[in-house]
């Protein structure tokens, strides 16, 4: 694993970086291209973006040993969060805009927002994009793009993430230029005040899903993993930044 400890980028820079890598225009973004990510992924003509909910930068430092596939193959960059909650944070990741610009706080706001995400921009270019997220977000995104799957019942978050991973593998058969996947077990366990060992277990399961997803892609597909916001709860290793990882 290589890493850059200097905080040089923000999560609003992720979409502009994807735009550059897969050659899809993203006008109006607040963020800028991240050169380190371009260096890592410039060979790729397709991308998978895996949003690991609550994967803060310091959280990843603590849980990374439970994620051997990611930590053994990835380059991690420290990345500034722009929101404390999932919906506005993911909106910033996918639009390249700050919350003040996109004003998306709820799933309903996704439907009414005039700001287009990188997923919609991909379809405007005549290519396919796909998203696998929670049911509320999936319902909203079905108004925007064609390849959408929801995670279903999330009462057992470990089983829920496994369903998300399965749907992701199914949608990858359509060979999307961009696939966005949202995995939630670490975040849910943090909200529930679970033990460190249980957080490690959630991270281990997520690493397994990422490894499985990676086994279904070719060399021309790059993988970007990012947190959406720092972990919730009173953890000493909470911090203000998230992990951004190129595989």
Closest CB to Zn ion among residues 59, 86: 86
Report the site for Zn ion in 168-227 (rule: CB under 5 A).
none
C-alpha dist (Å) from residue 102 to 33, 142, 189, 196: 19, 19, 29, 35
- The set of long-range contacts for 142-145, using a CB threshold of 8 Å and a minimum separation of 24, is 143/111, 144/110, 144/116, 144/117, 144/119, 144/120, 145/119, 145/120
User: 79 - beta bridge partners?
Assistant: 9, 242
Residues ≥6 apart with Cβ < 8 Å to 37:
17, 21, 77, 224, 244, 246
**Residue 241 in contact with Zn ion, rule: CB under 5 A:** no
Closest CB to Zn ion among residues 39, 192: 192
Report the site for Zn ion in 89-148 (rule: CB under 5 A).
none
- Least distance to Zn ion from the beta carbon of 53, Å? 4
* 128: helix, strand or coil: coil
Closest CB to Zn ion among residues 67, 231: 231
Longest pairwise C-alpha distance within the chain: 46
- Least distance to Zn ion from the beta carbon of 27, Å? 27
Give how many residues touch Zn ion by CB under 5 A.
3
- Name the closest residue to Zn ion (Cβ): 86
Q: How many angstroms separate the CA atoms of 183 and 166, rounded?
A: 12
Report the site for Zn ion in 74-93 (rule: CB under 5 A).
86
- Least distance to Zn ion from the beta carbon of 47, Å? 21
- Least distance to Zn ion from the beta carbon of 221, Å? 25
Closest CB to Zn ion among residues 30, 53: 53
Closest CB to Zn ion among residues 108, 124: 108
User: Binder to Zn ion among 13, 20, 30, 53 (CB under 5 A)?
Assistant: 53
User: Binder to Zn ion among 30, 161, 228, 241 (CB under 5 A)?
Assistant: 228
Could you report how far apart the first and last alpha carbons of the chain are, in Å?
Answer: 10
Closest CB to Zn ion among residues 62, 232: 232
Go through the chain and tell me how many residues it has.
Answer: 247
Identify whether the C-beta of residue 62 lies closer than 8 Å to the C-beta of residue 76: no
Residues that bind Zn ion (CB under 5 A): 53, 86, 228
């Amino acid at each position: 694993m290589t890493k850059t400890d200097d905080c040089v980028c923000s999560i609003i820079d992720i979409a502009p970086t994807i735009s550059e890598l897969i050659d899809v225009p993203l006008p109006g973004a607040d963020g800028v291209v991240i050169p380190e990510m371009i260096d890592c992924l410039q060979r790729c003509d397709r991308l998978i973006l895996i949003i690991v909910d609550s994967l803060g930068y310091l959280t990843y430092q603590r849980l990374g040993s439970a994620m051997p596939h990611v930590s053994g193959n990835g380059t991690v960059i420290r990345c500034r969060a722009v929101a404390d909650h999932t919906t506005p944070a993911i909106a910033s990741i996918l639009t390249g805009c700050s919350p003040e610009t996109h004003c998306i706080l709820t799933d309903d706001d996704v439907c009414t927002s005039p700001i287009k995400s990188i997923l919609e921009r991909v379809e405007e270019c005549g290519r396919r994009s796909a998203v696998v997220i929670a049911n509320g977000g999936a319902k909203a995104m079905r108004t925007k793009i064609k390849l959408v799957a929801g995670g279903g019942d999330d009462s057992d978050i470990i089983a829920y993430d496994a369903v998300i991973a399965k749907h992701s593998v199914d949608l990858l058969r359509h060979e999307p230029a961009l696939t966005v996947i949202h995995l939630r077990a670490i975040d849910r366990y943090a909200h529930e005040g679970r033990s460190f060992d249980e957080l490690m277990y959630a991270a281990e399961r997520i690493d397994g899903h990422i490894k499985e997803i990676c086994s279904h892609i070719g060399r021309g597909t790059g993988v970007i993993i990012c947190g959406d916001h720092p972990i919730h709860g009173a953890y000493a290793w909470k911090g203000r930044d998230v992990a951004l990882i190129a595989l």
